[in-house]
Structure 1
C-alpha cells in the first residue's frame, strides 16, 4: 500500500520583525515546492532519480553517479509529475497530473529519453530484475478488491495472475513477484491469512493471530518478517514467521512504549535484498539486518551526530554508499560516502536556500493528561527570546491514525519566525503508541483527542510559555474537529481557532463515506464504528457543529471545493452555525483544492491567510 504524503517545505532567512509585516514573503520562501524530492537509487545503483521543481511544476530527473550528468524527462505540455517506479535498469514508469487529477502515464529509458505514453495501472510490485514487466492493479482507484496483472510496461500487454473472489484485501509478493500471502477479513471482523511456498502450491491458512501492517520476505525460503500486533498484545512488534511450519520463529524488534511500524525499507533497488528498515520512536531510528551496512551507518553517525542519517544503498561499484540526512533545523540532503576513506560528496539538496543557523529548534516533549496518561508532542520555540512567554499555536494533525514526527517542519518554522511557540501533539488516537493509546474505536479518538489537546494548552501555560487567552489552535481534516471542539471546551484559553478541511458533523460525514465507499461498511464497522447507528446522537454531540454556541474566539474555516475526502459542506454548515450563534467566523472555499495542496501558489496563499488571521485575532 502506498500512501501519498503532502510535504509542506520551504526556505527561511529573514528576521522575525520583518516577517511580521511580510507573511507572504516568508510563505514564499518556506512553502515553495522543494527543489528535490522522492529520491531513489535506480536498479543497478547507477544513478539517483528524483522529482525536481521548476516554477511549481514537478519533473522527473536523474543524476548519473558515474558521470555526474543530470537528465530530465521531457513530456509534451509539461505536466506535473507526481510519482514514478523503476521497472528495470533501463525502464522507468512515471505518472502525470493536472490540478491533482491523474492524466496519464509514460515510460522512459535510464537517461530519461524515448518518452512514450503508457497504460495507466497502479503499480503493485516493480519486479526490477525482470525486463519491462511489473505487477499492477486495476486502474479503478475506488475498487478495493483488485485482481493482479503481469503487465508489460513497453507494449501494454497484460496477463491476470490473481483473480479476486471479492474478499481479498491484499496480497504480499516475494522478491520474485510470486504472491505468497493473502489477507482477508471474515464475517466476525477477524484478520485472516493464507500462505503458499510457491506459485504451484495450494493456499493454506496460517495463524498470524493479529493485525499486520507489513511483511518483509527475508531469511529462509519460507521465512518472513511480519510487523504485527498479536491478539491480546498492546503494541506492534517485528517478528520472524515461518509460513511452511505455521509458527513464529523469534522476535526481531519490540519496544515497551512504542509500536514498531516501519516507514522505510532499505533494499537493493534491483535484487531487492533487504538491508534494514526505518521506524519511529521520539526520533527516527534504523534497524539493520545487514551487519556491514550497520557498520557503515555507524561511521556516518559518528561524523554527523546532529542529524538523522539514513543510508539508502551502495553505488554500482560498492565503493560508496548514498545516504540521506536531515534534522529539525536542516531539510533533507543526499550525499555519497566513500567507504574506504570516509570522504563525502554532496549530491542533492531539498531546499538549498535554507540557512540552518537561523532555523528554530524542535524538541520532543511529554506531559501528563488529566487522567495521568503520558502524551507526546514536539515543541518548536519562537526564534526570539524563546524561553519567555509568547503567543502559542497548537497545530493538530489529521487522521486520527497518523502522527507528527521529529524533523524539518516548514509549518513550525513559519510560525516560530512569526513569534509563536508551536506545539504539535500526538493525542490519543495517534498511531505508534499501542492499542490502549490508539484504540480502534473512532468515537474514543474523537473525544480523547480534544481532552489531550486542551491539556497540552494547559501544559504550555504551566511551563510559562504562554498565557490563557494567548493560545491559538489550528487543525486539518480530523484536526479541524479537534481545533473547534477544543475552542468550545475551553473558550478562555484560545484566542483563535482555525480548521482546514475539517469534519464538524460526524454522522453526516460517515453516512456519506459509507454510501460512496460501501466496502468499508462491510469490513470492520463494529471494530472502528461500534454501534454507530444506535448511538448517532452521541456521535453528533461529540461533533463541533452542536457546540458552536460555546466558542467565543474568532474562527477561520478553509476548505477545498473539490475535496472528495471531506465535503466542503462540512465547513459551510459550521460557518452557518457559528454565524447563527452570533460568533465571529470567516469562511474561505478554495476553488480547485482537494483535501491537500497540489499547487505551490495555493500553499503560499493558505499560510499567508492563516498568519494574517492570527494577527487580526491576536489580543
Structure 2
C-alpha cells in the first residue's frame, strides 16, 4: 500500500528549465585591480564569454572573447589590468590552456600553445605586473614544470621541473619558496626552495589524516610571514601564521566545528584581514577593524550571504556577491571611500518573481552517532507554517554531492529549486568523507565507499521518513561523479531503498576508475589507494570489487537513468559502458544518454537542459511529480540514447 503524499501545489507555476539551467544574464562579476574596469561573463551568440565596461559607464560594455562552442568557466585579470586571462579546454577533456586578451586592442593570444597539455597558474605578484608563473605538463603529463610567462611577449622560461612534486608555492617576487611532494604515508612533505634548488630534507610533513586539511596558504608580500590552513595537532584546519625567519607559529583563527575554508588578504600587503568557516552556513570574521566595518556595512544592507569577489589595489572598491537563496544571486559594486553600494547586476533577473523556495540547514544523526550536516528544500506550498516539515509527506530526491572529498553548502541551488518546483523534497547530506568538518570526519570515510558512507545516506532517508518529510516508497537518489557512484551503489547494494536513480558521470568499477585517472593526478595516487583501496594488492582489489556497483549490477531492480560525457578524463565513458552492459546481459532495463562533446558533467547549457528534461520526465514517471514539456530540448543538444531511448 502506497504512503499518502502531498500532491504538487497547482498554484505554483512551473519554472522553465531554461531559466534555471540556461545561460545567466551575467556571472562572475569582478573589478580590475586598477579600479578602472568591471568585468563579467555573459552570453555572446549564446555562449558565455568575458565582457568588460569602464566603471561608471555600463553603456560602453564590450565582449573581450569570442568562444563559439564551450562556455568560459574561469577568467581573471592580469596584475597590471592590461589583460583578461582565461582558461579553456576542448570538449570537456580538461586540458585547459591559458589565453590572454589585450584590453586596449582586443587581440587574443594562446599563451600556452601546446597539445595535450593542462596549464595551471602557480604564482602571481602585486609587485611584478607583467609576468606570472604557470605550470605545464607538456614534457611529462604526470608533472607540472614551472615556467615564467612574460605576458607582453608570451615568452615562456622554464624555472624548475616538477618531477615527483605535487606543487610549488611562490612569493610576491615570483621566487619559488616551497615544494610539495607526496609521501608513502598518503600525505605530503614540504621542502624549502632557495636559489632555485629544492632542499634535500623536508621542513614539515603530513600523513594521510592531515593531507586534505593542511596546506600552505601563501606569503605576505614582504615574504616574512607564511600562512597555513593547518590541522596538525588539532581536528579542524586553523589559520596559522608562521614567521619565516624563526619558524615560530601562532594561531590566527580556528573553529572547532569546521575548517577555516577561505581568507581575505590585503591586495597589497597580503596580510590576512578576514577569514571564514562554514559549518551549516558561511560565517566571515574580520581581523582588520576597517575590513570588519565594511563587512558589517554590507551585512546591514544586503539580504543574504555575501562574498567579496574582487578588491582593487587601492582597496577602495570591492565587487560583492550576495546570495538570498529565494531570489537570484546578485553582484554589487561597493565604494568603500564613499560608503555607497550600487547594483552591478542580477544573475538571472527572469527568476525575480519565480516561486523559489527556502533552504533549511540542519543536522542529522548517523546510526553510530556521527553528526551529518544537511540541506533541505521543500515544494512550494507544501509547508504552510515554514517549519521545514511539509504538511504531509512528499516524494523526495536525495541529491548526493560529488568528490567525495567536497561538500554541500547553503545557498541558491538550481537543482534544489528545480526539483522542489517539480513537487519533490530535496535533501543533500554531507556524509562522512565530506570536507570542511575536520580531519576526523574525512577519515571516517576512509575505505568506506559503499559501506558507512552509504549508510549515512540511508540514515538521512530514514530520518526524512521518520520526520514526516518523505514518503518511504517515493524516494529517488541522484548525483554526479561520486554522487553518481552513490546512485549506482544505492540501487545495487540496497535494491529496495530507492524508487529510482539518476547517475551522472558516476564510476561503477572502482578498480578501473583508479587505473584510468588522469596522469596529472599521479601525485595523489597514494592517497586514493589509502582512502579507497589499492588495486595493486589482492586485498585492496577485492575490497574495491566489493565496493563496486558493477559486481552487483544483477541486483538492480529499480529504474536507472545514466548520463555520461564521452570525453570525461576523470570518470571514463567505460565506467558507464560497463554497468550498462552488465545490466543488459541480465535483461535489466536502463536508460543511457551520452553526450559526445562533454566531459565530467554537462557544461554546454543546451546539453544540461536536455539531460534535465530527460531526468524530470524520468522522475515524474517514478515519483509522480510534475514535468515541463520536453519542448525540443533533446533535439537542440548532442544527446545520444545508447539504451532506453524509447
What's the TM-score once normalised by structure 2's chain length? 0.84
1:30 to 20, 27, 31: 20
1:41 to 31, 37, 41: 31
What is the DSSP-based 3-state SS (H/G/I as helix, E as strand, rest coil) of the residue aligned with 1:494? coil
Q: Find the counterpart in structure 2 of residue 242 from structure 1.
A: 243
- How many residues get paired? 595
- In structure 2, distance between residues paired with 1:543 and 1:380: 30
Using the TM superposition, give the Cα deviation of residue 199 of structure 1 relative to its aligned residue in structure 2, in angstroms. Answer: 7.1
- In structure 1, distance between residues paired with 2:167 and 2:67: 36
> C-alpha deviations, 1:70-116, integer Å up to 9, x for none?
23215487874443332222233334455335686543333563444
Alpha-carbon contact 1:297-1:311 (below 8 Å) kept: no
- State yes or no: 1:178 paired with 2:179: no
1:546-557 → structure 2 map (5 Å cutoff): 546-557=551-562
- In structure 2, distance between residues paired with 1:541 and 1:74: 48
Alpha-carbon contact 2:219-2:270 (below 8 Å) kept: no
Using the TM superposition, give the Cα deviation of residue 426 of structure 1 relative to its aligned residue in structure 2, in angstroms. Answer: 0.8
Distance 1:313 1:399, change over 3 A: closer
Distance 1:73 1:407, change over 3 A: same
Q: Find the counterpart in structure 2 of residue 378 from structure 1.
A: 375
- State yes or no: 1:477 paired with 2:481: yes
> C-alpha deviations, 1:141-186, integer Å up to 9, x for none?
973432222111222223222334x232211112222222221234
What is the DSSP-based 3-state SS (H/G/I as helix, E as strand, rest coil) of the residue aligned with 1:334? strand
Alpha-carbon contact 1:277-1:288 (below 8 Å) kept: yes
Q: Find the counterpart in structure 1 of residue 503 from structure 2.
A: 499
What is the DSSP-based 3-state SS (H/G/I as helix, E as strand, rest coil) of the residue aligned with 2:461? helix
What is the DSSP-based 3-state SS (H/G/I as helix, E as strand, rest coil) of the residue aligned with 2:618? helix
Using the TM superposition, give the Cα deviation of residue 483 of structure 1 relative to its aligned residue in structure 2, in angstroms. Answer: 1.4
- Measured on the aligned residues, the alpha-carbon RMSD in Å equals 3.1
- In structure 2, distance between residues paired with 1:239 and 1:546: 46
Distance 1:29 1:607, change over 3 A: same
What's the TM-score once normalised by structure 1's chain length? 0.87
- In structure 2, distance between residues paired with 1:141 and 1:298: 49
2:407 to 376, 399, 403: 403
> C-alpha deviations, 1:456-502, integer Å up to 9, x for none?
11111111111211111112111122112223444444211121111
> C-alpha deviations, 1:532-563, integer Å up to 9, x for none?
42222222122212223433321112212222
2:289 to 263, 288, 291: 291
- State yes or no: 1:60 paired with 2:73: no
Q: Find the counterpart in structure 2 of residue 233 from structure 1.
A: 234
Q: Find the counterpart in structure 1 of residue 456 from structure 2.
A: 452
Unaligned runs of 5+ in 1: 1-14
> C-alpha deviations, 1:107-133, integer Å up to 9, x for none?
333356344454445332233543421
- In structure 2, distance between residues paired with 1:495 and 1:312: 41
Unaligned runs of 5+ in 2: 1-7, 114-118, 384-389, 625-646
Alpha-carbon contact 2:565-2:600 (below 8 Å) kept: yes
Q: Which has the higher contact order (CA 8 A, sep 6+)?
A: 2
- State yes or no: 1:94 paired with 2:86: yes
- In structure 2, distance between residues paired with 1:407 and 1:300: 17
Distance 1:436 1:321, change over 3 A: closer
Alpha-carbon contact 1:46-1:315 (below 8 Å) kept: no
Using the TM superposition, give the Cα deviation of residue 279 of structure 1 relative to its aligned residue in structure 2, in angstroms. Answer: 3.8
Q: Find the counterpart in structure 1 of residue 41 from structure 2.
A: 51
- In structure 1, distance between residues paired with 2:86 and 2:157: 21
Worse overlay, 274-283 or 461-470: 274-283
> C-alpha deviations, 1:218-241, integer Å up to 9, x for none?
3874222200220x5322221111
- State yes or no: 1:329 paired with 2:326: yes
- State yes or no: 1:352 paired with 2:343: no
